[in-house]
A and B are shown apart, each in its own frame.
Chain A
């Protein structure tokens, strides 16, 4: 009988059978819908017109000629790249601050985590009201001094920035918590030894702490990147994809094709593309992470 590493002897004999419920659950709730989506993307199903007999890669070929799809990829990358950069930087800054610089403020952790538990719809509504000049207390405050704060939701990059800001606010606690956990795993002896050798706090951070945090940073960045590919509530509520179409990220475009244009199969093809894109990114990041961890 095969011995499974890390599995208690009492569970060794029925290990495979015990995995079965989980495998079935994953099959039903993850693999089956995914397979259905892939199959749908190869057909030509329209909500109103019904099924077409064609079966093939037509929807995927259409993707490369669709200017709106290409434009949605740009929007998605803008939202994802800037979102991840700001979330990781802010999360790292606060985590290091609480753990290394002012440890007596650790009790503040709970407060910093609050945005993470706010539902996405509420996050969107909060920031929508803050960015709508006639509703915003920020605008009302500056109006007292005769200063007009511009409406950023009505400009192309302003609207993108608004979504990045809202997403950063809601998601930096996730980064902060993971970095805090990673920081607590780094032995204090290293800092002490470096300090005895005359290293400054900045040198300790950049030469010791940061390199040791690399695997955690890479993984948290990957998690956040994949999450940002799925942007929906913030766009739906804050900008409705506008102004024009400048905040229609790929995920949102898939929704438009499916529900507003009734092109279900084309929407599925976009979703399959997103899945493959996320899978490829994950693969390379995981490989890079293994290399860093092994080094």
Chain B
């Protein structure tokens, strides 16, 4: 055989191999259940329990945990590509309306109704997965807003109690900052799950709202005197009393600032607040206490986030998928993770009643579990509007709010821009 013939055969073979790879379906790993979650204490702990699932069901699972930033893109590609490469997906309630409208999830109404332990799941988180009368997922996490504060730093500044209102927060923050420590850190980085997880707590406390009368009248209504007051307080707290660089802080930086003693108070999600109280993860755990999210003239509105597990519409084996969901959200698994990882946002009543769990959290803080329940009771279900366009609206509003806090535009301009952009998105 001549050299050129050999070369041609080699080239053709290479091409065949390359195109073969490109055209082969993406599901190459032979696990029974492929799971994609985004990173948070619960999901990271769950990923370490793959062997438990196999022992319990005889099925194998591969649990991939990726960053929240990239999760949305990864899942969108999988859903729209209809690759069938995933059996179970992390399903934040805030995305649920959008995913259901797009037909990306498979309902699990009948399977849920047949569960023997269904009534043990907290009703609020369970019902938040009902859209158009169908159940689309089961919850594993119900997080809420909470404050963590340094008792020693507040005491040095002359305060024995944490601020109960946002007005008090301004006073306390000024006094703490005066003593030389940044007073308060909250998320400011733009995003519907970033600054738009924490900012509505202030906005709603001052009477601000997204829409004129949700859900019947969706006229954008952020630019009101109440909304402006809320944004002014948020901007002032972050700019005047926050740590250097707060304008780019996300939950990671907020939590780390508290754990490393660089800030006196933080307000963030309950599961992350629990991490600041854990002596293994926090240098100043013995000096940190917890409190309710401050209230305002219109009351208190703690943040709420419910996350669960759902089954993609194109999942090849729905029965195995549901078995995984049932196991991952079971009393046994939630209890195990509550104890091992200090996971506080569990969604089953039996876990809250478990003596080992209550002991675990008493060792972190005696009031942690009761404060969590109080905050969940105070939170409203539509803290972030439950409409399919929310992810897009939340991103746009979050960018404008971030611009205001960082002085790129005024508070008033940011709210005007937010209203205009919400209207445009809803009109699309």
Chain A residues with CB under 8 Å of chain B are: 10-11, 13-14, 17-18, 20-22, 24-25, 28-29, 46-48, 131-135, 139, 148-151, 153-156, 159, 236-237, 239-246, 255-256, 259-263
Contact = CB atoms under 8 A, between A and B. Distances in A.
B69 A14 contact: no
Contact of B72 (A20, A48, A240, A259): A259
Given A10-B3, A18-B4, A48-B102, A260 B72 contact: yes
A132 B248 contact: yes
25 contacts: A10-B3, A11-B7, A18-B4, A21-B12, A25-B15, A48-B102, A48-B388, A132-B245, A133-B243, A134-B253, A148-B244, A151-B244, A153-B248, A154-B247, A154-B248, A154-B406, A240-B189, A242-B247, A243-B248, A243-B402, A243-B403, A243-B408, A244-B408, A259-B72, A261-B425
B358 interface: no
Interface of B: 2-4, 7-8, 11-12, 14-15, 18-19, 22, 69, 72-73, 76, 80, 98, 101-102, 189-191, 194, 243-248, 250, 253, 256-257, 260, 262, 388, 391-392, 395, 399-400, 402-403, 405-409, 425, 428
Contacts of B72: 259-260
Nearest to B263: A134
Nearest to A128: B248
A260 B11 CA distance: 41
A13 B406 contact: no
B253 A24 contact: no
A28 B253 CA distance: 44
B417 to A, nearest CB: 10
A255 B98 CA distance: 18
Nearest to A264: B80
B244 A150 contact: yes
B245 A244 contact: no
Given A18-B7, A240-B189, A154 B246 contact: yes
Contacts of B244: 133-134, 139, 148-151
A242 B407 CA distance: 12
B408 A246 contact: yes
Nearest to A238: B248
Contact of B73 (A131, A139, A153, A259): A259
B256 A135 contact: yes
Contacts of A159: 248
Nearest to A239: B248
A46 B293 CA distance: 39
B402 A14 contact: no
Contacts of B7: 11, 18
A154 B392 CA distance: 23
Contacts of A256: 395
A255 B257 CA distance: 31
Contacts of A263: 428
Contacts of A24: 15
B3 A245 contact: no
- Top 10 A-B pairs ranked by shortest CB distance? A244-B403, A154-B247, A151-B245, A243-B406, A133-B244, A244-B408, A133-B245, A21-B11, A153-B248, A21-B15
A241 B12 contact: no
Nearest to A132: B245
B256 A134 contact: yes
A244 to B, nearest CB: 3
B321 to A, nearest CB: 23
A239 B247 CA distance: 10
B147 to A, nearest CB: 19
Contacts of A237: 69
Nearest to B414: A244
B8 A18 contact: yes
Given A47-B76, A132-B248, 8 more contacts: A11-B7, A13-B4, A21-B11, A25-B18, A46-B428, A243-B408, A245-B399, A261-B395
A21 B14 contact: yes
Contact of B257 (A134, A139, A155, A259): A134
A20 B400 CA distance: 52
Residue in A29, A156, A240 with the greatest tally of chain B CB atoms within 10 Å: A240
Contacts of A131: 245
Contacts of A133: 243-245
Nearest to A259: B73
Contacts of B247: 151, 153-154, 242-243
B399 A241 contact: yes
Contacts of A262: 392
A243 B338 CA distance: 36
Nearest to A155: B406
Contacts of B403: 242-246
